[in-house]
């Protein structure tokens, strides 16, 4: 079908569980993976429904035929003015990533494409665990929606999207790799959250002559970077911390733990976690 400009009109396929208590659509990896296999341009969860974008009516109708099941209501319709079109997405299946903030366990779906960050690498897992702790501590006496979070070296945006999904009000993601911009946008869209993405090395981005989201300090900064990169960004990261901010550092080997801590002598080590050969720290305090 042709759209208003004479081009192909995108369509949406909507899936609703007939018995919602028995099927959690947004964490159903098989369902989400099937949608990707069928060629979706992006999947998100809206009010208990899974909504998947398709390039045209034909693909959407094929998907409806494949997905028809006794436990699902599946419908297709053209994108309307009130729908936001999903951004183009690298063709790799998503992974489901779970994380906890206090007692609340959440999940997000992540595509990594050409970037680092499918969510299950030990350094990412450690960073997610400590990001959950940081969000929990920072929201003690404050609203999550008042918190500003920065993800340095965002890759797929897995940590940034997790912070936004947890309810952080403002999330900024920076990576030197330009490929991250569309991948992070896709992952944010798929999870129904907003993340502001910047391309460039953080050390240069902070001194931009024009106004940027880095002009205001952050309550939480997370950086999953190799030690060599942690050394390069340490001074910049400290300049970005609000008073009493939380800093999550991951990406370093256990035998580099002390070196990593020495990069931030003014901050207190609150919690450290290890997994396989990797270590991550949660630091707190003034810059």
Ligand X SMILES: C[S@@+](CC[C@H](N)C(=O)[O-])C[C@H]1O[C@@H](n2cnc3c(N)ncnc32)[C@H](O)[C@@H]1O
Binding site for ligand X (CB under 6 A): 115-117, 124, 127, 153-155, 158-159, 174-177, 201-203, 224-225, 229, 232-233, 251
* Shortest separation between residue 208's beta carbon and ligand X, angstroms: 13
Query: How would DSSP label each residue in 218-244?
Result: EEEEEEE--HHHHHHHHHHHHHTEEEE
Q: What is the per-residue burial (b if ≥16 Cβ within 10 Å, else e) of 127-144?
A: bbbbbbbbbbbbbeeeeb
Nearer to ligand X, 41 or 154 (CB): 154
* Shortest separation between residue 57's beta carbon and ligand X, angstroms: 36
Q: How many CB atoms lie within 10 A of CB 36?
A: 19
* Shortest separation between residue 230's beta carbon and ligand X, angstroms: 9
Nearer to ligand X, 127 or 138 (CB): 127
Nearest C-alpha neighbor of 199 from the set 214, 177, 221: 177
Distances (CA, A) of 275 to 33, 124, 200, 250: 28, 10, 29, 11
Tokens 């919690």 belong to residue: 271
Nearer to ligand X, 17 or 158 (CB): 158
* Shortest separation between residue 78's beta carbon and ligand X, angstroms: 36
Q: Are 50 and 43 in contact (CB under 8 A)?
A: yes
* Shortest separation between residue 27's beta carbon and ligand X, angstroms: 20
């Amino acid at each position: 079908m042709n759209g208003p400009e004479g081009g192909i009109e995108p369509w949406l396929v909507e899936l609703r569980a007939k018995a919602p208590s028995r099927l959690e659509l947004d964490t159903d990896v098989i369902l989400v993976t099937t949608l990707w296999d069928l060629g979706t341009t992006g999947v998100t969860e809206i009010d208990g429904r899974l909504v998947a974008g398709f390039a045209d009516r034909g693909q959407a109708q094929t998907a409806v035929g494949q997905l028809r099941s006794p436990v699902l209501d599946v419908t297709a319709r053209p994108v309307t003015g009130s729908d936001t079109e999903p951004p183009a997405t690298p063709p790799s299946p998503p992974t489901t990533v779970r994380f906890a903030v206090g007692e609340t366990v959440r999940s997000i779906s992540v595509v990594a494409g050409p970037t680092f960050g499918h969510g299950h690498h030990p350094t990412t897992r450690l960073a997610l665990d400590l990001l959950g702790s940081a969000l929990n501590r920072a929201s003690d006496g404050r609203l999550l929606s008042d918190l500003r979070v920065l993800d340095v070296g965002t890759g797929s945006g897995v940590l940034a999207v997790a912070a936004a999904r947890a309810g952080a009000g403002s999330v900024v993601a920076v990576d030197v790799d330009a490929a991250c911009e569309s991948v992070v946008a896709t992952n944010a869209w798929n999870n129904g959250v907003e993340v502001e993405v910047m391309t460039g090395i953080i050390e240069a981005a902070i001194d931009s002559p024009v106004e940027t989201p880095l002009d205001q300090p952050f309550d939480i900064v997370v950086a999953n970077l190799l030690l060599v990169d942690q050394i390069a960004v340490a001074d910049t990261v400290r300049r970005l911390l609000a008073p009493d901010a939380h800093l999550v550092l991951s990406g370093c080997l256990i035998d580099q733990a002390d070196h990593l801590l020495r990069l931030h002598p003014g901050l207190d080590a609150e919690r450290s976690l290890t997994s396989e050969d990797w270590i991550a720290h949660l630091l707190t305090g003034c810059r």
